[in-house]
Structure 1
C-alpha cells in the first residue's frame, strides 16, 4: 500500500520533468572564426571551440538574464583554471559568472509574458568577437548579427588588446553608464550603432530596434563568424551587392561586413553604380542591377567587376578570384586579412576610359560575350581561346579572369578560415 500511495506523486514529477525538457531550448554555439574561441554561457559553463567546432547548451523555460559570449587569448591548466585576454570569467574554463569586458554578448530570456522568448546582441560590455544569433526552429526565422570590424576601427580611447571597450567600462560616468537612466546617444554610442545597427549600443538604446522575439519553443544558433568586409574608397557612392549577403549603399569611406559559412560556393560580391531606390528598396542601377532590388537575391546585370569565392573546398582551401567575365564597372581589390594568407588580387586599371568602342556601355565596359553572344567569346562549347578583346582585359588586369577559360593565372587559394576584404577603388 505504501508503494502504491507514492506512484501518483512519482508520475506527476516525471510528467513535470518531461514537460520541462520538451519545452527547453537548445543553443547550438559554433565557431567559424579562423582562430580558437572559448565559448561561455550562463547557464551552460564554457567550452574550447577550435575553428568549425560546436557546443550545445540547453536552457529551461523561464530562464532569464542569460548570456552567451566568446573568450579569446585563453590559457587553462588541466583543472580548467587560467585566464583569458577578453571575456574572462574569474579564471575558469567552465564559467560560473559573467565575463569581463570587452565581450560581445548574446542575451536571452525564455518563456516570458505572452509565451515569448526575448533575445538580443549587446555591445554594452564592448566587442571582441563577431556574432550572429538566429532562431532555427519553431516557425521563427528571426536573426540578428554584429559582424563589423569594430576591433580594427575602435576609437583609441576604447581600444584594448583583443577587443574594443564600451565607454562605460573606460570612463565610468553617468553620461556613458546611464546610472540615472536619462543618458542619450553620443559619439561613442554612435560608433557602435553605425557598425551594428541591430545591437544594443548603450543601456537606453531603443529596444524596438535591438530586441527580437520568438514564440517559446524555438531553438537557437550562435555563430562566432568569419567575415568579408566590403569597403568603398571611390569618390562616389557605390551600392555594394553580395550573394549571399544582399546589398547596401556605401558612401565614400563607408564599409559593410557580411558573413559566409564554410562550404559556400558560387558566391559573388560586386558594386553597383547609378542607383536609385525607394523606401521599400526597389529601383534600378545603371550597372550591376539585380532585378531592381537594393538587397540582391540574384546575380547582377553586366557590366560589373566581380569578386568570386568558394569556401572550404577540397584540401580544406578557400578559392577566390576577380572576374571580368561579366565586364568591368569599378576598380577592385580582393584580399585575405587573416589566417596567415597574404596573397591579394587587384584590378584597378582605367578599363572604362580605355574600353573598345564595341564594348562600351553607360558606366562600364562589357565583356565581348555580353555583346556578341558567340561561342568564340562565351566558350559555350568549352574550347575557346584568348581573343583580342580578352587580351585587352588581361593586359590591364593580369590577375583577373579575362574570359571563361582563363583559370591557371586567375584563381587563388588560402587555407580555409581566413577573413577577407573587398575594396572598391583601392
Structure 2
C-alpha cells in the first residue's frame, strides 16, 4: 500500500517504531524499524531516506567519534518514481526519497546532537514543525531518562492548525514573532497553541525557547531506543460498547469499529475495559451500567465493577511487557487480549460467565467479583500477600477462564510476558465466544 487515507492518519495515527543504538566503541548506529500496518517513508538528515514496509528495518551509521547533529522523522502518503522523485503528504523533503535537507511541516521530529559539551549526547522530541507521528525516545543504558509524545494530537488539533495528515505548528500558519521568535528567544513565550501541545506531550518542545523542560542528555556512548506500542481495540459484540482505557480515555465503538490507542513505553499499572448500556450527553457526561468511570466518556480513572479488564505494564523488568486479563473486578464482556507482533501468546476469557454467574454475585449487565459484594479479607486480600487464597467463587471464574486472574494473588497462572515493543489487540466478544446469550444483550442499548 503506497498511501494512507486522511481519515486513517487523523484517527489512527502513524504507528512507527524507531530504535536507536548509540555505541561508543564503534560508529554510532541508528536502527529504524517500521511497525505500522502500512508503508512509512523514514527520513533522516544526515542519512537520506528509505521506504519501509511493516516490519522492515533501515540501519544508519554515523562516523565514529563524530560530533553529529541531526534529526529523524517519518513521512506519510508518499509516491516516488523510479528515480526517487515524488511527493509526501507530511514530512516531504523537496520531493526526494533520499532527503538532502529537513522535512516540510507538519512532522514530529526526533533530534539529536552527539558528543557535545562534556562528551554528552543531547536529544529531544520536537513539535516545532508540528505533529504527524507519535514517538517515544528512551535510553536503554546510561542511567538517564527519555521522553515520549504518544498523544492523539491529530484528532484534537485546533482548527486553525489542522493540515492533511497532521497538525501544524503555529509559526508555519501565522508567520509572526509571537509564534516563531524571529527577534530572539527572549521576545516570545508560551501561547494558547504551545500550551495545547505541551498539555498533550509535556516532554516535547512546543515553542522555540522551551529548552528547560524539553532537552535531555546522556553520556556519549549511551544506547537509545525509540519504541511505540499500539493497542488496537475492536468491538465484535452485537451491541455498542464504550471502550475505556486508563491511560487513554474512552471511545464509543459500534459493532465492527476499532479504536487504535497509542501507549508510551514504560507505561505501568494500565488497563483497558468495555462499558455497556451507556448514555452520554454532548459534553461527554452520563453513566454506564457496567464499567462506568465517574460518569465520563473520557475516563480519567478506573471503571466501576463489574468489568472484564485487560491489564498491562510495558517495558518493565528485562525490557518485558507484562499482560493479563483480570476478573478481580468481575466480568461483563468476553475478551481476547493478544499480541499482533512478537513471539508470545495471548489470553482469552470467552465463557458465558454472565449466564452462569452465582446468585450472590449477579449484577445488572455482569457478574460481580466477591470482594465488591462481601468486602472481606477472604475475597479482597486486604491484609497483604499470603493472607488469602482460592475460594468457591474464584474457582468458579478460574474453571471458565483458566488464563485470567480469579482473585488478587492469582499471579503464577495469570501473568504473561512479551518482548518490549510488542503491539497488541483487545477484542470485545471475539468470534469464538458466546456472543448472543440473552444475559449479555438484555438491557444493552445501541
Please tell me whether the aligned partners of residues 228 and 265 of structure 2 are also in contact (alpha carbons under 8 angstroms).
Answer: no
Q: How does 1:283-302 map to 2 (within 5 A)?
A: 302=328
The corresponding residue for 2:91 is 87
Q: Equivalent residue for 2:40?
A: 37
1:125 Cα deviation after fit: 0.2
Does residue 379 in structure 1 map to residue 399 in structure 2? yes
Matched residue, 1:168? 171
Paired residue for 1:106, among 105, 110, 113? 110
Q: Which of these residues, 42, 56, 78, is aligned with residue 74 of structure 1?
A: 78
Partners of 2:25 and 2:365 in 1: CA distance: 66
Aligned twin of 1:187: 192
1:361 aligns with one of 372, 383, 399: 372
Q: Which segments of 5 or more consecutive residues in structure 2 lack a partner in the other structure?
A: 1-22, 235-242, 253-259, 275-290, 295-301, 317-321, 355-361, 380-388, 403-427, 436-444
| Larger Rg, first or second structure (1 or 2) | 1
Confirm whether residue 311 of structure 1 aligns to residue 315 of structure 2: no
1:331-410 alignment runs, 5 A limit: 352-353=363-364, 361=372, 372-373=392-393, 375-379=395-399, 400=429, 407-409=432-434
In structure 1, distance between residues paired with 2:157 and 2:55 = 27
**Mapped partners of 2:374, 2:250: distance in 1:** 17
TM-score, normalization: structure 1?
Answer: 0.59
Distance 1:133 1:326 in 2: 42
Structure 2 counterpart SS, 1:84: strand
Equivalent pair of 1:26/1:220 in contact (CA under 8 Å): no
The residue that corresponds to 1:156 in the other structure is 159
Q: CA deviation at 1:221?
A: 3.4
- Cα distance, 1:250–1:128 mapped onto 2, change above 3 Å: closer
Q: Which residue of 2 aligns with 1:25?
A: 28
The aligned counterpart of 2:122 is 118
Counterpart Cα distance in 1 of 2:81 and 2:157: 32
Q: Quote how far apart the aligned CAs of 1:159 are.
A: 0.9
- Seen in structure 2, the aligned counterparts of structure 1 residues 354 and 95 have a Cα distance that, compared at 3 Å, is closer
Q: Compared with structure 1, are the counterparts of its residues 50 and 373 closer, same or farther at alpha carbon in structure 2 (3 Å cutoff)?
A: same
Specify every segment of 5 or more residues in structure 1 that has no aligned partner in the other structure, as ranges: 1-19, 231-237, 242-247, 262-266, 276-283, 328-350, 383-398, 411-424
Matches within 5 A, 1:225-244: 226=230, 240-241=245-246
Residue 407 of structure 2 is matched in structure 1 by none
Would you say how many aligned residue pairs link Structure 1 and Structure 2?
316
CA contact (8 A) 1:135 1:221 kept: yes
Is 2:78 aligned against 1:53? no
| Cα-Cα RMSD | 5.0
For the residues of structure 2 that align with 1:104 and 1:363, how far apart are their CA atoms? Answer: 51
- Cα distance in 2 for partners of 1:75, 1:274 equals 44
- Once the two structures are superposed, what CA deviation does each residue of 1:244-284 show, in whole Å capped at 9, x if it has no partner? xxxx496999x9841589xxxxx963499899xxxxxxxx9
Between the aligned partners of 2:363 and 2:271, the Cα distance in structure 1 is 21
| CA distance in 1 between partners of 2:214 and 2:366 (Å) | 47
Counting only pairs closer than 5 Å after superposition, residues 133-148 of structure 1 correspond to structure 2 as 133-136=137-140, 138-140=141-143, 142-148=145-151
